[in-house]
Structures are given as C-alpha cells and as structure tokens.
Amino acid sequence: MKASALSDELAGLLPRIQRLARRRLWNGLSAPRLRGAHAELLRLVATGPGVRVSTAARSLCLAPNSVSTLVNHLVAEGLLRREKDPGDGRAALLYPTPAGVERLHEWHTRREALFRRHLAGLDADDRTALAAALPALHRLAASLRKGDETA
C-alpha cells in the first residue's frame, strides 16, 4: 500500500471506529451519555487526582478553554470536583467524585465488553495483526504529539 493511501485510510478509519464504538456504548444507557472527551478527562483525573486544568489540556491535546468547558459540564453533573490550587490561586485542581469514579467504571466496563465481543468475532490472524499494529499506532500518536508541541 502506498504511503498516501495508508495515511488516508488511517485518517478516515480511526475516527470512524471511535464514532461507531461511542454509538454502541450509548445504546441502552439510562444515564446521560458520557461523551468521549468527557470520559477521557474523567479517566485522566481518576488516574491522577489533583491534576491542573492546564496539565489536563496538554495531556489530552486540547485547548485549555475546551478542557474548562468539559470541566464545567462534569462538575455540573457531579462527576468532577474543582478546587483552587493552594500554591496558585489562579489554577484549579481536579478530583473525581465517587459518582464520577462509578460512572467511569461503568463506561470502561461497557467499552471493554464491546471491544472484547467484536474482537472475538474476528479470526485469530486479524486479532494477531491488530495486536502487532498497536506499538506502531502508539509511535504514530507520539509522533503526532511531538508535532503539536513544536507548533
């Protein structure tokens, strides 16, 4: 496959997979949807409580004002808690609430089950190929991140 065809295929396929997965995850939910960026932020905060909004923005490759908007939504839903940084009153520190941790766990469990089910439907060669591609996809993500840092 030519490099241009590969780049076009990846650029179209990865977001499509993400959209399809989100659609399946939202099916049958009684609680309000946990959107992709909300889940990413909540996961980041749950794994590193006390993270600053600016650090979260860099980590998620989002603009600080976009993360502030996400934080406002998650705080309003009772899934996140925002506190002033005692060392810098202008900065906010983020913490998950118990409801946020529970919601994230439910989302993660549903996502894992979804992918496990669909991966099981593939043959062994396809699963092996996907596993073998993961390191290259991680390197691609790291390369794209470096591009963000120098821009």
Do 91 and 145 belong together in one domain?
no
Do 78 and 103 belong together in one domain?
yes
How far, in Å, CA of 92 to CA of 100, rounded?
18
Q: Please report the pLDDT score of residue 61 as a whole number.
A: 87
pTM of the model: 0.77
Residue 20: inside a domain: no
Do 105 and 37 belong together in one domain?
yes
Number of domains in the chain: 2
User: Which of these, 91, 110, 148, lies nearest to 34 by C-alpha position?
Assistant: 110
Do 67 and 132 belong together in one domain?
no
**Residue 147 binned pLDDT confidence (cut-offs 50, 70, 90):** low
User: CB under 8 Å to 50, separation ≥6 — which residues?
Assistant: 93, 94, 95
Do 104 and 130 belong together in one domain?
no
Q: Please report the pLDDT score of residue 150 as a whole number.
A: 46
Quote the domain boundaries for residue 140. Answer: 121-151
Residue 7: inside a domain: no
Do 105 and 62 belong together in one domain?
yes
Do 48 and 74 belong together in one domain?
yes
Residue 99 has pLDDT above 90, yes or no: yes
* Cα distances (angstroms) measured from residue 91 to each of 64, 105, 109, 112, 115: 12, 28, 33, 34, 37
Q: Please report the pLDDT score of residue 151 as a whole number.
A: 45
Q: Please report the pLDDT score of residue 1 as a whole number.
A: 75
User: CB under 8 Å to 78, separation ≥6 — which residues?
Assistant: 97, 99, 100
